[in-house]
Chain A
Amino acid sequence: MAFNGHQCEDGSVDEDETPSKQPRSDKEMPGYFRNEPNNEAAAPAGRAAADRRSSNATSRHRKDSVKKTRPPFPWFGMDIGGTLVKLVYFEPKDITAEEEQEEVENLKSIRRYLTSNTAYGKTGIRDVHLELQDLTLCGRTGNLHFIRFPTHDLPAFLQMGRNKHFSSLHTTLCATGGGAYKFESDFRTMADLQLHKLDELDCLIRGVLYIDSVVSSGPSECYYFENPTDPDRCIQKPYTLENPYPLLLVNIGSGVSILAVYSENNYKRVTGTSLGGGTFLGLCCLLTGCSTFEEALEMASEGESTRVDKLVRDIYGGNYESFGNMMSKEKRESVSKEDLARATLVTITNNIGSITRMCALNENIERVVFVGNFLRVNTLSMKLLAYAMDYWSKGQLKALFLRHEGYFGAVGALLELLHPS
């Protein structure tokens, strides 16, 4: 039923020219929240949407009231995962001359460093294509930047924070992910920073709902694959995530968490699996000697999994064994690294698809949103997941994807800084 409205749009919408997405209207929102047990706590996403809407207005009164509770710059949100650290940074673009003068040198230096570069050190990367411009947050307008670096380079990051005297800014650093706990003392001792630790699943959901509500121009945040079972006609299409609940949120990072979300504050972790992005990369490193996710994906895209296992169609026919052909010595000797990478990717992806489908059935949920950095530049996996959901459910189950894949936890952490729940 949730798809009806959407399907009407499909025909008329060009892929590149996504219709500007309406933030949830006031007409819908109050009605929606009325049904929720906890209106107060459910508010932040609504408030964020309101911010967005008032961005062009000149309601000084409102701005003043917001200003009182507004935290000082810089605004960061951080998600320290098992493999990657995700950092979102809000760059204010509405700095007045007065403010400019008041702004301390350290703050300026950090802003300039982050916004003028797209790469930091050897491994830090700013995903420029994901940057959200002209965003209004807490009454301030600016750009939201998305930055990532490997968790094992966290010491270098802390060293940089120390060099740039980050601690002198007296900011609260909101962080989520396991690393917020694991590295809390390192932040304190190495960079003199006190972390405000946040639950990763809370942040994830908050981040997803927020980003989906504020992205209105440019490519649609949410999308799906049309004709997923037909490789030649399979194309990416925008999707409007209206009335999103209930939804199954599948976060594929190093491992996988599957959440059933009934409202922003009403969710449960259904299950998880240890066969995730970390497994793909780990096995690829062992099997092919590669060392990065990009390398592994590159190989996978060139490989052919059928030499290692069987065709996708066979998989769903039920007569398929991952790495089954590798029981044979001759075949082990003739297989290429690319084939192995491909087989690993297909195996991990399909397994996630299979578990997800079972959870959707058990929880009686028809909409699945896949997020997490495993899906970054990984169209192959996304199409496989779309295929799996569609095939198994005979079209009942829809696989949805979000452009900001792995950054939602970090966004959720930033929101906590601005609107403590």
Chain B
Amino acid sequence: MAECGRVDSSNTSSHTMDKSITLPPDEIFRNLENAKRFAIDIGGSLTKLAYYSTVQHKVAKVRSFDHSAKEASSDKLYEISVQEEVTARLHFIKFENAYIETCLDFIKDHLVNTETKVIKATGGGAHKFKELIERKLGLKVDKEDEMTCLIKGCNFVLKNIPHEAFVYAKHADSEFRFQTTNPDIFPYLLVNIGSGVSIVKVESEDKFERIGGSSIGGGTFWGLGALLTKTKRFDELLQLASKGQHTSVDMLVKDIYGGSYGCLGLTGDLIASSFGKSATADKEFSKEDMAKSLLHMISNDIGQLACLYAKLHNLSRVYFGGFFIRGHPVTMHTITYSINFFTKGEVQALFLRHEGYLGAIGAFLKGAEEDNPNQYSWGENYAGSSGLMSVSPDMNPMQRARSGTFPFDMLEMDRLERQLVNLPLLQDASSYIPDTVDLTEDALAREYWLYCFEEALDGVVKRAVASQPDMPEAVARAEKFRQKYRHKLQTLRNQPFAYGSLTVRSLLDTREHCLNEFNFPDPYSKIKQRENDVALKYYQKAVQSLEELSWEERQFALVRGVLAGNVFDWGAKAVSDVLESDPEFGFEEAKRQLEERPWLVDSYDQWFERLKGPPHKCALFFVDNSGVDIILGVMPFVRELLSRGTEVVLASNSGPALNDVTNGELQILTERIAAMDPVIEAGLREDRLTLVQSGSSSPCLDLSRLDKVLAMVVRERQTDLVIIEGMGRAIHTNYYAMLSCESLKMAVIKNSWLADRLGGKLFSVVFKYEVPHGKTCLGSGALTPS
């Protein structure tokens, strides 16, 4: 009923629009060829379409040469091959109902798959378009309960998308404050503000209950607003409201009292009676003022009811959704204000980045139950997703006009190879925030890093092309990558909140996603190969010279070795310049570049004292770069740990990122080192040295999303030491991570801006050894911007 007016009128007009629109298949409804399992959610004005598809893309694989065979004529350490891999992806597209027919035609034309027979449907408009969908697509429309879909979708995004939920603060530096993903999402309250309001208590994956509701919702704002202001469109009503002054229409406490009502602490500006002044004065009221008053009235009322229900059911997490909220800063602000007022800050109003997709996601999940999508972990693909506010007219006119078709928004989620879980050694998983600096809140840092990534783009494109010398079309593809990533950076400049908190990690990950999108799975593969090769030749010499040192000297030399190795990093601009111009830049030279002690953050003395004590049971080492770093820096360090009687778990990336060593590469390297080094060999043989993958393909590290196997190994081996190496993993992320066991964070600052900010200089050293409270505390370094 709420839908009728809008849907009907736009439906008729869409017939004339159909002809003029051609949809670009690489921008919207991607991967339709292999699409299956469709779902559609048709609301009052927006349609959300969901499908599952497979994506074929290239992945870089490494394979050890059989050195006994003749083919090992090359002096290369291992073989790199690019292979096709098929991964699963979920596509969600949101567009206005006016274009539904155009979209259905397009899908029909591009859909080759014949297996699909059914389309799951939900939303108030689903029955209205049933016939059209069945006729156009030849699929049977299977209606699913709206609320069930909504809740299923909500659970899915809360579990799988980091920074899904946010608090809205209009006047803060950053309007959007994203919440860290708490693995324990239940119980929560979902307040869905569509035409009416539904209040649902969600207790578990399968248990939810509509505990209340209200007739005063988005429909009241729209209907009453249209009557009062003769303005028909919902968006226009909101715009009117944002320009109005409610005090000329509402009766405030001060209008009755002349000031505040002191005894109750009700301030004079509080609304005593909504529209109270329009009853007593014989004057005309402006549309803007009436719209504003109406917005306040409805938002306050919903906020009040939500608080009463939250209190009654003892719930503190309250998510708001529905078309009244959807992407509208004005309504998020008024709802937030109301919740703060009524609960005095005890309950926070939470909103969701993908709120508009919940119904479609839920309907899709209902249809895909036999594939059991909930058994996998999924990740938001930054390359294929539009980001928050992408089609909000006042937020980003650029993007709206860009496609030349019609405004649409997309969400793409990749099924991850591995199921991801928390590191069991996190002190408090619910308060863990991987990132050290939130660039959404820190404008200066944001400016710098966006500039930095833009500057580095030429180099990345060059590297990408060079990595595929046999493919002539790589140049054009790399150019597309450049456009895509540059556009992402532009979007993030305007909307830093588009994908949750903007961080150095998210900028790096977005770049990796874009590279993958254009089939540059591992631009650094050849460089890594060469450097690994060179470094291996020095391994024995390096170990030998360490052996000659006294125990005391050796411990320090090992740490310096790891740090010097960490200088070799293509991800850091200052270093990649040197590396590019002078490939002979040696390990010894790196050691000379290192800062002398005392370092910027220096708890080496405590670490050294600790080494005099009993050996650790098991160390988990998150490694960083290929080449000198892993071979001449990390491996000797690992060797020493093994010699001490400590088991070692080496955690490396599952997929490529910059010149970081991948699990595949590390397997080969370790075998080669084992062949030269009896300590490593014995470690592998006796299962005291284990290689695991992190589950990540990022230069940074999110300890709340790690491979399930890693978590299992960590638990089984009673890990009591975590070592995190490198700028990406130990400074940009995890610098403040609190672990329940001893931890060592080692990195060299290879960025002068960051060094400046931290009060150090280029090649300053961070050596942070921490012991959790309760155990012997040996102090910790503080890293505060100067």
Contacts and interface: CB of A to CB of B under 8 A. Distances in A.
Interface of A: 81-83, 150-152, 177-179, 181-184, 199, 201, 253-255, 269, 271, 273-279, 281-287, 291, 308-309, 315, 318-332, 340, 347, 350-351, 354-355, 358-359, 361-362
A355 B227 contact: no
A254 B251 contact: yes
Given A279-B275, A355-B304, A358-B312, A182 B215 contact: no
Given A178-B258, A286-B285, A347 B216 contact: yes
15 contacts: A150-B280, A177-B256, A182-B259, A274-B271, A274-B300, A276-B274, A279-B297, A308-B223, A318-B213, A322-B224, A323-B227, A326-B223, A327-B6, A331-B5, A351-B215
A327 B223 contact: yes
B216 A181 contact: no
Nearest to A179: B256
Main secondary structure of the interface of B (DSSP, over half): helix
Interface in B207-257: 210, 212-217, 219-220, 222-224, 226-228, 232, 249-251, 253, 255-257
Contacts of A178: 253, 256-258, 261, 272
Contacts of A253: 273
A278 B223 contact: no
Contact of A282 (B275, B308, B312): B275
Contact of A320 (B5, B215, B271, B304): B215
A283 B278 contact: yes
Q: Which size bracket describes the interface of B in this complex?
A: 35 or more
Given A278-B279, A325-B223, A326-B224, 13 more contacts: A81-B256, A82-B273, A83-B280, A151-B280, A201-B264, A274-B297, A278-B276, A282-B279, A283-B224, A320-B196, A324-B215, A327-B226, A351-B215
Interface in B1-58: 1-2, 4-6, 9, 44
A284 B280 CA distance: 11
A185 B219 CA distance: 44
Nearest to B285: A286
B313 to A, nearest CB: 10
Contacts of A308: 223
A324 B195 contact: yes
A256 to B, nearest CB: 9
Contacts of A354: 212, 214, 305
A287 B227 contact: yes
A224 B125 CA distance: 43
Nearest to B255: A82
A291 B250 CA distance: 17
A305 to B, nearest CB: 11
Contacts of B249: 282
Contact of B308 (A184, A276, A315, A362): A362
B275 A286 contact: yes
A324 B276 contact: no
> What are the 5 closest A-B residue pairs judged by CB atoms, nearest first?
A326-B223, A328-B5, A282-B275, A278-B273, A178-B256
Contacts of A282: 249, 273-279
Interface of B: 1-2, 4-6, 9, 44, 195-196, 198, 210, 212-217, 219-220, 222-224, 226-228, 232, 249-251, 253, 255-259, 261, 263-264, 271-280, 282, 285, 290, 297, 300-301, 304-305, 308-309, 311-312, 342
A255 B276 contact: yes
A82 B222 CA distance: 28
Contacts of B4: 327-328
Contacts, number: 197
Contact of B5 (A184, A318, A329): A329
A321 B272 contact: no
A155 to B, nearest CB: 14
Contact of B272 (A255, A329, A330, A355): A255
A274 B341 CA distance: 13
Given A82-B276, A323-B223, A351 B216 contact: yes
B1 A324 contact: yes
Given A178-B258, A327-B223, A351-B301, A286 B215 contact: no
Nearest to A185: B258
A358 B274 CA distance: 21
| Residue in B44, B256, B300, B304 with the greatest tally of chain A CB atoms within 10 Å | B256
A276 B216 CA distance: 14
Given A82-B276, A181-B257, A326 B210 contact: no
Contacts of A279: 273-276, 297
A321 B297 contact: no
Contacts of A278: 251, 272-276, 279
A274 B250 contact: yes
A340 B226 CA distance: 13
Nearest to B218: A321
A362 B311 contact: yes
A42 to B, nearest CB: 19
| Residue in A253, A308, A323 with the greatest tally of chain B CB atoms within 10 Å | A323
B272 A319 contact: no
Contacts of B223: 308, 321-327, 332
B305 A358 contact: yes
Given A273-B301, A273-B304, A319-B196, A326 B216 contact: no
A326 B280 CA distance: 25
A309 B215 contact: yes
Nearest to B9: A329
Nearest to B275: A282
B220 A329 contact: no
B285 to A, nearest CB: 7
A180 B44 CA distance: 49
| Residue in A82, A179, A325, A358 with the greatest tally of chain B CB atoms within 10 Å | A82
A361 to B, nearest CB: 6
A321 B279 contact: no
B749 to A, nearest CB: 54
A29 B232 CA distance: 61
A354 B216 CA distance: 11
Given A269-B264, A287-B227, A361-B312, A324 B272 contact: no
A287 B271 CA distance: 21
Contacts of A284: 279
Given A269-B264, A347-B220, A321 B305 contact: no
Contacts of A322: 196, 215-217, 219-220, 223-224
Contact of A321 (B195, B263, B273): B195
A323 B220 contact: yes
Given A82-B256, A340-B227, A276 B273 contact: yes
Nearest to A344: B224
A330 B5 contact: yes
Contact of A350 (B198, B215, B227, B250): B215
A327 B2 contact: yes
Contacts of B272: 82, 178, 254-255, 274, 278
Contacts of B263: 199, 201
B308 A359 contact: yes
A271 B304 contact: yes
B257 A182 contact: yes
A287 to B, nearest CB: 6
A325 B1 contact: yes
A102 B107 CA distance: 98
B198 A318 contact: yes
A283 B216 contact: no
Contacts of A151: 280
B256 A275 contact: no
A274 B273 contact: yes
